[in-house]
Amino acid sequence: MAPLTVGVVRERAAGERRVALVPGDLARLTRVAARGGAPPVVLVEADAGRAARHDNAAYAAAGADVVTADELDARADLVLAVGRPAPHRLRTGQVVVGMLAGRSGDGYVADLAGLGVTAVSLDLVPRTLSRAQEMDALTSQATVAGYRAVILAANAFERYFPMLVTAAGTAKPAEVLVLGAGVAGLAAIGTARRLGAVVRAYDVRAAAREEAASVGAEVIVPGVLADATGAGGYARELTADEQRAATAELAARVVRHDVVIATAQVPGRRPPLLVDEETVKAMAPGSVLVDLASGPLGGNVALSVPDRTVVTDNGVTVIGAGNLPSSMAAAASAAYSRNVVALLGHLLRDGELAFDPTDEIHASVVATRNGEVRS
């Protein structure tokens, strides 16, 4: 039996610097992808890892063949990506692994189904299943984003995060408010605390508030609603009236903080507006807001623009976070690569995708197979 040929593509999306497999994981991939005992052939598109600080020589030294895009497209049975490879690069019978589905379904997966490509999407890993945690790329990447958001905020904030006692006087610690205590929010809380800030957290899910308290944040309980947990353990979308009341209640808290890190999302919905324009403008000069939810549909913070930093007339900095994991491409790629290899270890048997619809992980991540869109 011919060995399985695995291809690692160079990402093409603007600003995307991550790579799906790092050289250090080649040996692990070889173990899980052997076909009939034969080790896989691993092809890496030239410069696929360059922006994540892995040069072609590092892949070659780890045993991969560095090839052109055309050669990879022609030879790979299994394509590894971070984002979505262009459909015209894929062909019938290939399996493509990446973050393919996205939070709001569009036509991409259906296009792959039409091509007869099998799509395995890491953003469909069942997140509450403990045996799937090592495959959970949404979590690994949100962790990077939460950390990076605090570093960006600290960099833009022109005072100290920790309390500092010096001969020249005492600096009081920064007061940081984290809105949304999911994976990114918890990473932000931990990072801000390690920098010495006083950290408060706010979330509409009671479970998230408990987790925030357990990592050392002082929790703000919304007075307007006790718990808004919805499907799959995520937050449900608040009604317009509920959100208006929550935003109004939050405003008095927001203006008393130096730094706000906003991470609130509702799967498949536009992000809730948690800090309105009036509140941004009422903050003290020098305050910093980082909006991780900032995107084409809006964000948690009025005035935030994705990938842009806006400074208001009153000196408040609003950072619209774009692809933060990509801005820490080395760490984000290392974690993502581990997620990919763990998932392949679960899906592959004897170098083939051994699809088992009775297995929760298989049933969730295989987005299309044999022309049928499954999720």
Given a contact cutoff of 8 angstroms between Cβ atoms, the answer to whether 180 and 203 are in contact is yes
Q: Which of 238, 259, 340, 353 binds ligand NAD (CB under 6 A)?
A: 238
Site for ligand NAD (CB under 6 A): which residue of 235, 260, 343, 361? 235
164 or 215: CB nearest ligand NAD: 215
Which residue type is seen at 182? Answer: G
Give the shortest CB-208-to-ligand NAD separation in angstroms: 4
CA dist 206 and 203 (Å) reads: 7
- Residues written for the chain: 375
The two tokens of residue 323 are 């692809």
Could you say which of 50, 75, 91, 127 contacts ligand NAD (CB under 6 A)?
127
Alpha carbon 237 to chain centroid, angstroms: 20
Residue 234 interacts with ligand NAD (CB under 6 A): yes or no: yes
Q: How far is the CB of 109 from ligand NAD (least distance, A)?
A: 20
Closest CA to 10 of 72, 58, 90: 72
Residues 261-300 interacting with ligand NAD (rule: CB under 6 A): 263-267, 272, 274
Q: Closest separation between CB of residue 264 and ligand NAD, Å?
A: 3
Among 51, 115, 204, 220, binds ligand NAD (CB under 6 A): 204
E-only strand ranges, the chain:
5-8, 41-45, 65-67, 78-80, 95-98, 118-121, 164-166, 169-171, 175-179, 198-202, 218-220, 259-262, 288-291, 309-311, 317-320, 348-349, 352-353, 366-369, 372-373
Residues 241-260 that bind ligand NAD (CB under 6 A): 243
Task: For CA atoms 356, 359, 365, 367, give the dihedral sign.
Answer: positive
Distance in angstroms between the alpha carbons of the first and the last residue of the chain: 32
Q: Taking CB under 6 A as the rule, which mask of x and - marks residues 164-203 in contact with ligand NAD? A: ---------------xxxxxxx-----------------x
Stretch that binds ligand NAD, among 38-46, 116-124, 227-235, 307-315 (CB under 6 A): 227-235
Of 120 and 137, which has the nearer Cβ to ligand NAD? 137
The 3-state DSSP class for residue 289 equals strand
Among 34, 56, 123, 133, binds ligand NAD (CB under 6 A): 133
Nearer to ligand NAD, 142 or 149 (CB): 142
Is 206 strand, coil or helix?
Answer: helix
The pairing of beta strand 41-45 with beta strand 65-67: parallel
Per the CB < 8 A criterion, the answer to whether 286 and 158 are in contact is: yes
Q: Is 82 in the site for ligand NAD (CB under 6 A)?
A: no
If one asks whether residue 366 binds ligand NAD (CB under 6 A), the answer comes out as: no
**Closer of 23 and 272 to ligand NAD (Cβ):** 272
Least distance CB 184 / ligand NAD (angstroms): 6
Calpha distance 222→253 (Å, rounded): 11
Phi, psi (degrees; rounded to nearest 5) at 122: -70, -20
Residues that bind ligand NAD (CB under 6 A): 127-128, 133, 136, 138-139, 142, 179-185, 203-205, 208, 233-235, 238, 243, 263-267, 272, 274
